[in-house]
Amino acid sequence: MKNNMGTADRIIRLAVAIGLIGLFATGTLIGAWGIAGLVLAGVFILTSLVRICPLYLPFGIRTNRVRKRSN
């Protein structure tokens, strides 16, 4: 698979993940909402590290710049 996430997208996802983890750690997100927040944070971290968002694929969304080769 080709990378479909740009740098800004990855940074935003990591910031949101850190925020969700922080909310859970301080007790602001508890119960089922807390678990859902941690799962979402994990997905955001994983997709940021591998630079591929599976939800972007069916819609053809790309937030990274595609470099064109000059022959």
Residue-wise pLDDT tens digits, 6-25: 999 999 999 999 999 999 99
Whether 36 shows a pLDDT value over 70: the answer reads yes
The predicted model scores a pTM of 0.85
Between helices 31-50 and 7-25, what is the axis angle to 10°? 150
Shortest CA distance to 23 belongs to which of 11, 53, 31? 31
Neighbours of 13 (CB within 10 A): 21
Cα–Cα dist 45/30, whole Å: 20
Cα–Cα dist 10/59, whole Å: 18
Domain residue ranges in the chain: 1-63
DSSP label at residue 68: P
